[in-house]
Amino acid sequence: MRLPEQGQVLDGPYEAEASSRARTFPIVFADFKPVTLKPPVPQEELLDCLAHWMSVARCVSHGIESEEQRTAVFRNTKKRVDRYCASSAEHISQRQVCIYDTADTRRNGHFEFLAPPVPYTNIYDNPAGKTWDKRRVLFEQAALTAFERCYEESKQPPDEIIHVTCTGYASPSPAQSFLSKQGWLHTGVTHAYHMGCYGAFPAIRTACGLLAASYATLPEPKERVDIVHTEYLSLHVDFLTHEPGNYVMNALFGDGFIKYSAYPLANFPSANKRGLKLVAIQERLIPSSLDEMTLKPGLYSFDETVSKNVPDIIYVHVKDFVIDLCQQAGIDFDAEKEDLVYAMHPGGPAIVSKVREALGLDESHMWVSREILDQHGNMASATAPYMWQKIVETDAIPTGAKIISVGFGPGLTVIGAVFEKI
């Protein structure tokens, strides 16, 4: 069949064939591999640590030196931790928090920032901690280590890597540094940065585009696109601010690192492994919500704000979004919702509850979100892949099951996908 010339409008049989090809190029996501840089720490221990370091920061910033005054500051701070972090402690049992050296904690009874290769200013010298230029170095080190762990058993480079993070920036990136060290010089790199908790969804959309475009327009089709998340959230901990929201965020976020791969369904060895076939994906901005959640580079860290209105805003808008998303996949949500599997981003306990209420679901439908939150906390963009891995590996979820997964982030952005387990 003759290809159209540049600028020519498609019509007739060529248009039908192109449309058919676009709709019949399914992509599968599989081979989920999370990596741990430091063992998870019990939430109770982390909250004690938070109270300690926020007390230290307050004493340094106010010039408090007497033991009696320091003890009073700690007791007051601990009360605030118990007050504002109670919900997080109830719903999170442990988190990976790489910025704390828990071995030193147990030996010396205090917490230190991870020791970098040169002595940086610590919290005793500056109550705000290290400036971002110094924390950035720690991000690069951790992200490169995560890449090495992700590929320690892999000898075959992917055609492409998509690096996802909202917790650091470097150029050359950790992905490029890793590929250079490996000698994988023909692997392309796409950077999907700074989208916050919903970042996995644009990444899978990008992976689909890279694969499909290579088959449709390029001389050499691509067979595998890897997605690697390096979320070092504890690097941005703020010990100096005593607003309620800062307590909540310091108790909520955990570090997360995970790799997974996208394959054309035709080349996916489904007889030997499981995966998630993408069926539909859509994104939507909630109107008049730009200031409700923000993420911006600051002097010491990335500064995040989340208003108390976010769970209620999500409650108002999420059902219409899910209904539209399901319609793309030929699913009547209200008629079929009891049989669907849900992987809703656990931005916090209240968000999970509001989504459940808005969709009219039982608490049992939220088990994937609740379990990941309990075991890891909110890992920003890495959270959704952890949920997808849980679904892939759970025998009780049969092949053929339809999965609804939705994420939220600055904008306010709502983005979601429908998968089929294969």
Say whether both 280 and 242 belong to one domain.
no
Whose tokens are 């108002």? That residue is 316
Say whether both 209 and 356 belong to one domain.
no
Token duo for residue 396? 């009780």
Q: What is the SS3 assignment for 308?
A: coil
Contact 340, 301 (CB under 8 A): no
Say whether both 310 and 186 belong to one domain.
no
The model's pLDDT over 166-182, given as tens digits with 9 standing for 90+, comes to 999 999 999 999 999 99
Query: Rounded distance, CA 362 to CA 380, Å?
Result: 25
Domain assignment of residue 5, yes or no: no
H or E stretch covering 241: none
Nearest-CA neighbor of 55 among 36, 39, 77?
77
Binning pLDDT at 50, 70 and 90, where does residue 132 land?
confident
The model's pLDDT over 143-166, given as tens digits with 9 standing for 90+, comes to 999 999 999 998 899 999 999 999
Domain assignment of residue 7, yes or no: no
Domain assignment of residue 18, yes or no: no
What's the pLDDT score for residue 126?
78
Domain assignment of residue 172, yes or no: yes
Domain count for the chain, please give it: 3
H or E stretch covering 326: helix 310-328
What's the pLDDT score for residue 292?
92
Token duo for residue 361? 């679901």
Which domain range does residue 31 map to?
Answer: 27-37+135-267
Domain assignment of residue 1, yes or no: no
Among 244, 267, 290, the domain boundary falls at 267
The model's pLDDT over 314-355, given as tens digits with 9 standing for 90+, comes to 999 999 999 999 999 999 999 999 999 999 999 999 999 999
Amino acid identity of residue 256, one-letter, is G
What's the pLDDT score for residue 332?
98
Say whether both 391 and 340 belong to one domain.
yes
Say whether both 57 and 200 belong to one domain.
no
Among 241, 267, 293, the domain boundary falls at 267
Q: Is the pLDDT of residue 369 over 50?
A: yes
What's the pLDDT score for residue 124?
63
Among 236, 267, 298, the domain boundary falls at 267
Contact 29, 258 (CB under 8 A): no
The model's pLDDT over 243-262, given as tens digits with 9 standing for 90+, comes to 999 999 999 999 999 999 99
Q: Is the pLDDT of residue 65 over 50?
A: yes
Token duo for residue 61? 């910033």
Residue 185 is part of a domain; what is its CATH number?
3.40.47.10
pTM (two decimals): 0.90
Say whether both 293 and 386 belong to one domain.
yes
What's the pLDDT score for residue 22?
46
